[in-house]
Amino acid sequence: MKIFNTLSRSKEEFKPLEENKVRMYVCGPTVYNLIHIGNARPMIVFDTVRRYMEYKGYEVNYVSNFTDVDDKIIKKANEEGVTSEEISKRYIKECKQDMADLNVRPATTHPLATEEIGGMIDMISTLIEKGYAYAVEDGTVYYRTRKFKDYGKLSHKNIDDLEAGHRNINVTGDLKEDPLDFVLWKPKKEGEPYWTSPWSDGRPGWHIECSVMSKKYLGDEIDIHAGGEDLIFPHHENEIAQSEAANGVEFSKYWMHNGFLKIDNEKMSKSAGNFFTVRDIKEKYDLQVLRFFMLSAHYRSPLNFSDELMESAKNGLERIKNSVGQLSFYESNAKFDELTEDEKASLSEAKKYIEKFESAMEDDFNTADAISAVFELVKYVNQKASEESSKNYVLELKKEILTMTDILGLLVETKEELLDGDIEALIEERQAARKEKNFKRADEIRDELLEKGIVLEDTREGVKWKRA
């Protein structure tokens, strides 16, 4: 498996630090509003990387944070007259809903910056002790950028050519030793949330948050650190400087970055009127179409979003769904179960599409070519399967398509949705089974309903149900 490593600017063979285990950190969103489709791209891309790693037998410890203290969150809270915590909790909940709708699996851990302040104070103290950081009289702590000899190794920038990059951190810079030094801790302003530290009542800089959360949940060294290419500098560059100076070891072996998203070949912005949240897209399309669209290009390539391209993605996804639906029909109406000799030969022939799919994914997760392999299999299936096919033959063909689409996180099999009347009838049957002490049947009905997305809740007023 080869991964393009931003650090070396080349494809490298993936070798994990620990056999069969992957430690992966992906920078998550700042939660002050609904996530936009630019936020969705890394979520979808790196969820797919994780899925493929797991398919290949790796145990993936996948950590993705929520930045829940930030100038934008504070500004939004002040505008609404509520606390920053109320804003961040609201939008974490909304973000998790959007992720579920995009079929992005929850991370192994979703740490919150505000719950890891103690670790940040500890790492800043270590950096001060080692001479990599210094506090000034107003209570701000800065990182000595020039002291870290490898600064610029990720972004491939020469330190002498750099200007200090900061994300919404408004400091005068008067007290800095060097214009390139960046903030690790800053004193509070009126009306801001704050924590007590040895230097001042205040809050951490943005960069230190990810260094600390990665260390706590994955260790000093990790396999993969990922995010959008806009994070390479200064965020990821500063993370490397902090983590490697504090921990004394290489921070991450592989750095992965997805390309930018444009709207009709223009940069997305509210002022240009081309800013779309995931919810905006959901009003017009099934979000599986957005996921399919995002994966139709290589993750490192810039991606252009347009109605025309979304319609094309919708049609492409429909082709796969129709093929799977046709196979399900053949399966239900098959006249016999066992494979014929011709069908056995045909299944052997079909294996080449899985091989083609894997080959694309092994080459730096080329989902565009992987999707092409899915379409080739769909074409093959449409030609080979019919009402005369055996049940086991169509089941195997369907399994092959579903294996590939599941790695891509695409839901292409239509589950039969139970009508309300059918649900009520099954609940009545379950109640009767329980009265007769036939608990086996009662449990079977509960499990059957759960499989179809119906959750039962036993209350004093009787059984209540809801769709999951």
Joined together, the tokens standing for residue 161 give 């050519």
Structure tokens, 328: 């399900």
Residue 166, pLDDT score:
39
- Assess whether pLDDT exceeds 60 at residue 427: yes
For residue 147, give every residue at least 6 positions away whose Cβ sits within 8 Å of its Cβ, in sequence order, or none. 131, 132, 245
Distances from the Cα of 464 to the Cα of 194, 446, 456, 457, 458, angstroms: 44, 12, 6, 5, 6
Stretch 252-279: mean pLDDT: 92
Please indicate whether the domains covering 2-258 and 281-407 agree at the CATH topology level: no
Q: How far is CA 289 from CA 294, 334, 365, in A?
A: 9, 31, 19
The angle that helices 117-129 and 206-218 make with each other, rounded to 10 degrees, is 100
> Residue 170: what pLDDT?
40
Q: How far apart are CA 328 and CA 337, in angstroms?
A: 14
pLDDT value of residue 460: 77
**Would you say residue 164 has pLDDT above 60?**
no
Q: What is the pLDDT of residue 172?
A: 47
Confidence of residue 1 (pLDDT cuts 50, 70, 90): very high
Averaged pLDDT for residues 239-247? 98
Q: Is 209 exposed, middle or buried (0-12, 13-18, 19+ CB in 10 A)?
A: buried
Q: What is the layout of strands, in order, in the sheet containing 303-305?
A: 266-267, 261-263, 303-305
Amino acid at 27: C
pLDDT tens digit sequence for 44-69 = 999 999 999 999 999 999 999 999 99
For 11, the 3-state DSSP assignment is strand
pLDDT of 468: 64
Cα(90)–Cα(317) distance, rounded to whole angstroms? Answer: 32
pLDDT digits (tens, 9 = 90+) for 275-308: 899 999 999 999 999 999 999 999 999 999 999 9
Select the highest-mean-pLDDT range: 57-61, 171-175, 332-336.
57-61
Q: What pLDDT digit, counting tens, does each position of 8-20 carry?
A: 999 999 999 999 9
Say which residues have a Cβ less than 8 Å from residue 240's Cβ, sequence separation at least 6: 150, 153, 154, 251, 252
CB 217 within 8 A of CB 61: yes
> What pLDDT is attached to residue 352?
97
Q: What is the pLDDT of residue 374?
A: 98
Band (pLDDT 50/70/90 cuts) for residue 318 is very high
The architecture CATH gives domain 281-407: Orthogonal Bundle (1.10)
Q: Are 420 and 385 in contact (CB under 8 A)?
A: no
- Calculate what percentage of the chain has a pLDDT beyond 70: 96
C-alpha distances in Å from residue 351, one per residue of 11, 344, 346, 354: 27, 11, 9, 5
- Going by pLDDT thresholds of 50, 70 and 90, the confidence category of residue 447 is confident
Q: Is the pLDDT of residue 163 over 60?
A: no
pLDDT band at 174 (very low <50, low <70, confident <90, very high): low
Domain layout of the chain by residue ranges:
2-258, 281-407, 420-467
Determine the CATH number of domain 2-258.
Answer: 3.40.50.620
Distances (CA, A) of 342 to 205, 335, 390: 65, 16, 11
| Beta carbons of 104 and 43 less than 8 angstroms apart | yes
Residue 229's pLDDT band, with cuts at 50, 70 and 90, is very high
Contact predicate 350/382, CB 8 Å: no
β-strands 222-228, 21-26 pairing: parallel
Buried b (16+ CB within 10 A) or exposed e, 343-370: beebbeebeebbebbbebbbbbbbbeeb
d(CA 89, CA 193): 15
The model's pLDDT over 379-410, given as tens digits with 9 standing for 90+, comes to: 999 999 999 999 999 999 999 999 999 999 99
Q: How many degrees, rounded to 5, is the angle at CA 20 between CA 15 and CA 22? A: 70
